[in-house]
């Protein structure tokens, strides 16, 4: 395959947002949770100055995958946005007695379009970071937690340690992400970092996250198979990947599988 026929390789920031225990809710409560999450994400983005109307979005019921446009402010997406989402969840609880809790993971990664969605280590790794035992455990074991934020090690180093975001290094704790053989940095807004569990082998499985991870892995594997044609040699086990179409852009994960020509990520509605 020549360069003119290869899908464009792009680097973006990937953000996964997954609601806790969505599959255990009854239908009216699921509908309220979906509406509340959509409202909270929109309000949080507007509050910190992110251009959510320009994001490429794919809803997934209990979460969202979004690709942020070129030029979106990455330090805001990494720092102020998660804090604002936490505050929006608090307001929803006070106003509507709607108690939303979510895991959010943020990562840089290379992404390429495939036959059934997007492939690349960016979307694969971000779902695995969100699914790490310690990230799950932080939400399950810290009762007052509303949003648990997990940053890839590279993003933490480049944005947080360098002082580019409103969040500080002492608010984070390093945890293992076994499925990518790496670490991530976890923060729970308003909670001392020492309370964040480092390991959590006994946490309850999350069927929704498992479903999404399997779909991401399947898409990534199928593209990588016919994949040197599709993503070339740029995406591989040793690549340090980031962003989705241009540089310094962002993604929010819940479900990837839209038509390739739309250039949106969609894993489809998740049933759980």
In a domain, 267, yes or no: no
Range of the domain at 116: 8-262
Question: How many domains, the chain?
Answer: 1
Q: Which helix (H) or strand (E) holds 65?
A: strand 63-67
Tell me the pLDDT tens digit for each residue of 51-92. Answer: 999 887 767 778 887 777 778 899 999 999 999 999 999 999
In a domain, 133, yes or no: yes
Round to whole Å and give the CA distance between 186 and 127.
14
Distance of CA 40 to the CA centre of its chain: 16
pLDDT at 255 (0 to 100): 35
Tell me the pLDDT tens digit for each residue of 179-237. Answer: 999 999 999 999 999 999 997 554 444 444 454 445 455 544 544 444 444 433 333 44
In a domain, 251, yes or no: yes
Round to whole Å and give the CA distance between 150 and 80.
14
Tokens representing 135 are: 């990230």
In a domain, 271, yes or no: no
**CATH number of residue 191's parent domain:** 3.30.70.1230
In a domain, 254, yes or no: yes
In a domain, 71, yes or no: yes
In a domain, 58, yes or no: yes
Q: What is the largest CA-CA distance in the chain?
A: 57
In a domain, 51, yes or no: yes
Is 0.85 surpassed by the pTM of this model? no
């Amino acid at each position: 395959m020549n360069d003119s026929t290869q899908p464009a390789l792009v680097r973006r920031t990937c953000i996964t947002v997954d609601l806790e225990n969505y599959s255990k809710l009854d239908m009216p409560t699921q509908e309220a949770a979906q509406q509340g999450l959509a409202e909270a994400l929109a309000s949080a983005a507007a509050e910190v100055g992110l251009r959510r109307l320009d994001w490429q979005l794919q809803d997934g019921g209990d979460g969202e995958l979004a690709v942020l446009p070129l030029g979106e402010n990455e330090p805001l997406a990494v720092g102020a946005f998660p804090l604002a989402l936490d505050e929006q969840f608090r307001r929803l609880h006070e106003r509507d007695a709607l108690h939303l809790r979510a895991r959010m993971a943020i990562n840089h990664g290379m992404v390429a379009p495939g036959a059934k969605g997007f492939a690349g280590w960016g979307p694969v790794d971000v779902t695995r970071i969100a699914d790490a035992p310690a990230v799950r455990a932080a939400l399950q074991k810290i009762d007052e937690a509303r949003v648990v934020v997990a940053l890839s090690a590279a993003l933490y180093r480049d944005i947080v340690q360098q002082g580019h975001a409103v969040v500080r290094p002492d608010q984070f704790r390093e945890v293992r992400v076994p499925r990518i053989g790496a670490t991530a940095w976890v923060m729970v807004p308003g909670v001392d970092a020492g309370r964040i569990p480092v390991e959590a082998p006994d946490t309850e499985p999350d069927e929704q996250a498992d479903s999404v991870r399997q779909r991401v892995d399947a898409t990534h594997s199928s593209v990588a198979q016919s994949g040197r044609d599709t993503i070339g040699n740029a995406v591989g086990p040793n690549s340090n990947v980031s962003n989705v179409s241009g540089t310094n852009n962002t993604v929010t994960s819940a479900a990837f599988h839209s038509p390739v020509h739309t250039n949106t990520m969609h894993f489809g509605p998740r049933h759980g």
